[in-house]
Amino acid sequence: MPAEYIRIKEKKSIEIIEKKSRFIATAGAVCNEEEARAFISDIKLLYRDASHHTYAYIIGINTPAARYSDDGEPHGTAGLPILNVMQGKEVTDSIIVVTRYFGGIKLGTGGLARAYSKSAADCMATAGLAGFIPGKILELKSDYHYLGKIKNYLEKAKYDILDEEYTGHVIIRTLIPAADSASFKIKIANMTNATVQIADAGEKYIEMEV
């Protein structure tokens, strides 16, 4: 099942050296522009003596908004190459900041673009990517007679059990792909003689491998 959207999995940093210039790339996930600006501010504070803090970020799923900055580097040599790397992997809700410490040797526009692209690509590979699909939270109310069958089915299908309640009956909340909802309900009804009550209890994205 293809992911509905992909984002950078976790915050990571890498460093490369090009003609004595240090390029420190930091990648991470952000949910909105406020988080993106805070991420950039944190990097600037961490490397406050650096020559440049260039970046690109993409926010949103259906109509993503992209922003980038060369931060004083020649136009098109820093922020845009970073953005191109991110768009090549179709990520969103993600940011990459590349900090540069100038080493005294000019790289030229081509050399700068290659260095920023490589920094972004290496950092994104280190941070990893996570894909997400729409999920539905379903609440199953059953008597104890069918508990074993239900839990065995959920385990084999690799559906997450979010929580369980045990009183006079059993309530299990599970997270399944939204696309599986109809077939799931039929399967549960067939294995329990339609005695289990199933209620929609919300929506949540499910992480998947990409």
pLDDT tens, residue by residue, 171-207: 999 999 999 999 999 999 999 999 999 999 999 999 9
Bridge partners of 23, per DSSP, are 16, 100
Tokens of 85: 């790397």
Q: Which of 23-37, 41-55, 195-209 has the lowest mean pLDDT?
A: 195-209
> Are 127 and 110 found together in one domain?
yes
Q: What is the mean pLDDT of residues 97-116?
A: 94
Give the domain CATH number at 123: 3.30.230.30
Instruction: State the pLDDT confidence band at 1, using cuts at 50, 70 and 90.
Output: low
Among candidate residues 110, 131, 152, the one where a domain is terminated? 131
What is the three-class DSSP state of 162? Answer: strand
Distance in Å from the first CA to the final CA of the chain? 10
What's the CATH code of the domain at 159? 3.30.70.240
Of the residues 107, 131, 155, the one at which a domain ends: 131
Same domain? 110 vs 182: no
CA angle centred on 147, ends 184 and 208, rounded to 5°: 45
**Do residues 204 and 121 both lie within one domain?**
no
Residue 112: CB atoms within 10 Å: 24
Are residues 104 and 23 part of one domain?
A: yes
pTM for the full model? 0.85
Token digits of residue 158: 């690799």
